Chains A and B, each alone.
Chain A
Amino acid sequence: KAGVTQTPRYLIKTRGQQVTLSCSPISGHRSVSWYQQTPGQGLQFLFEYFSETQRNKGNFPGRFSGRQFSNSRSEMNVSTLELGDSALYLCASSNGQPGDTEAFFGQGTRLTVV
Chain B
Amino acid sequence: AQTVTQSQPEMSVQEAETVTLSCTYDTSESNYYLFWYKQPPSRQMILVIRQEAYKQQNATENRFSVNFQKAAKSFSLKISDSQLGDTAMYFCAFMGQAGTYKYIFGTGTRLKVLA
Chain A residues packing against B (C-beta within 8 Å) = 31, 33, 35, 42-45, 48, 55-56, 58, 88, 90, 92, 94, 96-108
Instruction: Look across to chain A and name the residue whose beta carbon is closest to the beta carbon of B95.
Output: A101
**Which residues in B have their C-beta under 8 angstroms from that of A97?**
99
Q: How large is the interface on B (under 10, 10 to 19, 20 to 34, 35 or more residues)?
A: 20 to 34
B98 at the interface (CB under 8 A from A): yes
**Which residues in A have their C-beta under 8 angstroms from that of B91?**
43
**Which residues in B have their C-beta under 8 angstroms from that of A42?**
105-108
The answer to whether B44 and A107 have CB atoms under 8 Å apart is: yes
Q: How far is the CB of B101 from chain A (nearest CB, A)?
A: 4
In residues 85-109 of chain B, which contact A (Cβ within 8 Å)? 91, 95, 98-108
Instruction: Look across to chain B and name the residue whose beta carbon is closest to the beta carbon of A55.
Output: B100
Report the separation of the CA atoms of residues A55 and B43 in the bound assembly, to the nearest whole angstrom.
26
In residues 17-73 of chain B, which contact A (Cβ within 8 Å)? 33, 35, 37, 42-47, 50
The answer to whether A108 and B43 have CB atoms under 8 Å apart is: yes
Report the separation of the CA atoms of residues A45 and B99 in the bound assembly, to the nearest whole angstrom.
14
Report the separation of the CA atoms of residues A102 and B45 in the bound assembly, to the nearest whole angstrom.
12
The answer to whether B99 and A103 have CB atoms under 8 Å apart is: no
Instruction: Look across to chain A and name the residue whose beta carbon is closest to the beta carbon of B105.
Output: A43
Given contacts A42-B105, A43-B91, contact A100 B43 (CB under 8 A): no
Given contacts A45-B103, A103-B101, A103-B103, contact A90 B108 (CB under 8 A): no
The answer to whether B43 and A99 have CB atoms under 8 Å apart is: no
Report the separation of the CA atoms of residues A90 and B105 in the bound assembly, to the nearest whole angstrom.
13
Which of B33, B46, B91, B103 gathers the greatest number of chain A CB atoms within 10 Å?
B103
Q: How far is the CB of A109 from chain B (nearest CB, A)?
A: 10
The answer to whether B99 and A102 have CB atoms under 8 Å apart is: no
The answer to whether A100 and B102 have CB atoms under 8 Å apart is: no
The answer to whether A56 and B101 have CB atoms under 8 Å apart is: yes
A-B contact pairs, 17 of them (CB 8 A): A33-B102, A35-B103, A42-B107, A43-B103, A43-B105, A44-B105, A48-B100, A55-B100, A90-B45, A98-B98, A100-B98, A100-B99, A101-B98, A101-B101, A103-B101, A105-B44, A107-B44
Q: How far is the CB of B100 from chain A (nearest CB, A)?
A: 5
